[in-house]
Amino acid sequence: GQQLNQSPQSMFIQEGEDVSMNCTSSSIFNTWLWYKQDPGEGPVLLIALYKAGELTSNGRLTAQFGITRKDSFLNISASIPSDVGIYFCAGHNNNDMRFGAGTRLTVKP
């Protein structure tokens, strides 16, 4: 299915640095979701956003639902080695769900 535009594709950062990634779409979504996938496993839901403009935190993770409902960003503060993985954004409307291509994060100790 049609994918969202997620950037960057990959990031190589030093432990302790902050990370930011974002997703944009040409369509409006009612819900934005951010997932993390570890190798060989299914994606795990990190944060769900339900309202335009909503800013939600989950520990060191912060995500925002864009005002236009066509974009979202995810920030990770003070990265640690276990943050390594692929992060996916998803826009969700009822039974229609679209994914970004993923951001592969590498954290150097």
Preceding amide of 8 cis, omega within 30: yes
Residue number with CB closer to another protein (45 or 55) = 45
Residue number with CB closer to another protein (3 or 24) = 3
User: Are the CB atoms for 24 and 3 separated by under 8 Å?
Assistant: no
CB of 63 to another protein, least distance (A): 13
Residue number with CB closer to another protein (67 or 97) = 97
User: Are the CB atoms for 74 and 89 separated by under 8 Å?
Assistant: yes
CB of 50 to another protein, least distance (A): 6
CB of 56 to another protein, least distance (A): 13
User: Are the CB atoms for 6 and 22 separated by under 8 Å?
Assistant: yes
Interacting residues toward another protein by CB under 8 A: 1, 3, 31, 33, 35, 40-45, 48, 50, 88, 90, 92-95, 97, 99-102, 104
